[in-house]
Structure 1
Amino acid sequence: MSIVSPGENFAKATSFIRDSAAKGCHLAVLPEYHLTSWVPDDPAFRSSCADSAAYLQKYQELAKELNICIVPGTILEAQGDALQNIAYFISSTGEICGRYQKKNLWHPERRHLVSSAHEPHRAFDTPLGRVGLLICWDLAFPEAFRELISDGAEIICIPALWTMKDVTEEGYGLNPDGEAVFLNSTVVSRAFENTCAVVFVNAGGPPEKGEKTHYAGLSQVGIPHLGSTGKLGRAESVSMVDLDMRVLEVAEANYKVREDMKAEGWHYAYTQIREGESDVTKL
């Protein structure tokens, strides 16, 4: 991705999506801030928001043309003096199925963006099933996933711009690969603990630099039982993953996360049944 070059970045994204659609993909997901990168002190960063509606419409037209669903990373939108970081799910018909404004802002973002604050996380119906959207740092909050799962989400898409140096020098010094450990551990954990597919799509660095980049990359799909699938390295690239939705049914049959969450009195108020005891054990 080029810094604050929406036209150039859109053209590159379009090329990736066209190629993926030609290979039979049903969903294309792009990284957070894919049109502008994250350079909030650059005057062009804010002014680029004026074109957000036009780019969203272009993605809608592309989705309809190619008959593919698209999550166009995130798009910055201005509301008065405030900036909002928005993810959309566009159906293969070009219609918008879902819209989500980033809730959990990374610390440097809080000087520039407005959070969705107390708005609830909501899932929505799509041609691929019931889907939820989160953005980047939301990954760190299990509560966000639980709220989406309670609303029936089977697939959770997470556009991100996460780098290896999003921590202090002290934190980086403890382990230069610490953020990779964070991402690889958490994406898979969220998939298992929620019996859902987690589509994590992070910005990668210039291909010519290979793994020698501060971008974390590591885009992947976390699936219960199977773990991480289609994982990329740190360089910019495309990964195509086959997702068998039956695996999610098997996971739920085994772990019963959704069943427990729907039970009356849930919230760790379950009972323990032991051999020789009544069905209800007082805790």
Structure 2
Amino acid sequence: MAPLVKVAVIQLYPKPMQLEHNFNKAAQYVRAAAAQGAELAVLPEYHLTNWLPKDPAFLGLCDQWETYLNKYKELAKECGICIVPGTIVETHPGEEEEENRLLNVAYFIDHEGTVKGKYVKKNLWGPEREHLTGSGRDVHEVFDTPLGKVGMLICWDLAFPEAFRELIAQGAKMIIVPTFWTLNDCSPAGLKHNPSAEALFLDNILIARAFENTCAIVFANAGGPPGRGYAGLSQVVVPFVGALTRLGSCAEGMSVVDVDMQILEDAEANYQVRADLAKDDWHYDYRHGRVKEKL
């Protein structure tokens, strides 16, 4: 991975069901990021449609997924920048006739407009399970990109340390996490204890994951009008330091930041997490490690 990576984290309000409007706004931010020298621009989950799966028009919008993937490929080539266009919800044929599956997909597009990686969300948040098909037991993959080895996760995947372990065991140094995480995702009981519980969750889990996996995390969340529960807090996090940049709780915006990748080598030298995972006799039987003989 390059010693210094300039990253743009973009926090958008996905105007409900307005694909072209949302794409054009995202493209403006991506062009601005490229003008500032950013090598990578990351957008939030559901940034094209918002999340309204029960709206009768939602499926029809998701049918257009390939059109917008191609638009982002063209944009990446035009600007000479790598793009993770948040997530794009895609319709695919199901096992039964006249049945469609919805997949929530993140892509890594390089500066030449080539797709270098694709990830289908695995850990679905409760309300998503009625509508989306997850990637099940497929192994988390790491992708070779112009920036080095990169892994991708989506939103609720953050809650599962196993996902990070699979990625760093394969050499990922940067984990990119497009997200649509709101304050209203907390239950009424939780909100009674702390109305900002989800913000507390996000800030702390991002720092914990960066430390415990000696990796950089690029977290792009949706923002939105005050009073509607948008959490925002998009940030780029590394061990030792924490958040290199952190956007506000609601407003749209972008931050471009230099990520010194040497800090990851310094963290690994200190904590030896990857070294332990690589041991033949490592005592945790994670799925990504060698399968040990059963006694």
TM-score, length-normalised on structure 1?
Answer: 0.92
Bigger-Rg structure (1/2): 1
**Aligned equivalents of 1:50, 1:142: Cα separation in 2:** 33
Runs of 4+ in 1 over 6 A off after TM superposition: none
Are residue 173 (structure 1) and residue 189 (structure 2) matched?
A: no
Give the Cα–Cα distance (whole angstroms) in 1 for the partners of residues 117 and 56 of structure 2: 30
User: Are 1:149 and 2:168 matched, yes or no?
Assistant: yes
Unaligned residue ranges in structure 1 (runs of 5+): 270-283
* 1:1-283 equivalence runs, <5 A: 1-80=14-93, 81-206=100-225, 209=226, 212-234=227-249, 235-267=251-283
C-alpha separation between the residues in 2 aligned to 1:104 and 1:189?
19
Report the secondary structure of 2:246's partner residue.
coil
What secondary structure sits across from 2:281 in the alignment? coil
The alignment's C-alpha RMSD in Å is 1.1
Deviates more, 1:12-21 or 1:236-245: 236-245
SS in 2 for 1:238: strand
The separation in 1 between residues aligned to 2:69 and 2:20, in whole angstroms, is 13
Segments of structure 2 that go 5 or more residues without pairing to the other structure are: 1-13, 94-99, 286-295
Paired letter, 2:247: L
Count of aligned pairs: 265
Q: Deviation string for 1:5-25 (max 9, x for gaps)?
A: 000000000000000100100
Cα drift, residue 267 of structure 1: 2.7
Judge conservation of contact 2:186–2:197 (CA < 8 Å) in 1: no
3-state SS of paired residue (1:241): strand
**Residue type matched to 2:169 in 1?**
S
TM-score by length of 2: 0.88
Deviation at 1:213, TM superposition (A): 4.2
The higher-RCO structure (CA 8 Å, 6+ apart) is 2
Take 1:247 and 1:168, find their aligned partners in 2: how far apart are those partners? 37
Q: Percent identity?
A: 56
Could you give the per-residue CA deviations for residues 157-200 of structure 1, whole angstroms, max 9, x where no partner exists? 00000000102211111100100000000001000000000111
One-letter amino acid of the structure 2 residue matched with residue 224 of structure 1: P
More strand, by proportion: 2
**Equivalent AA in structure 1 for residue 60 of structure 2:** S
- C-alpha distance in structure 2 between counterparts of 1:32 and 1:23, whole Å: 23
Cα distance in structure 1, aligned partners of 2:261 and 2:191: 38
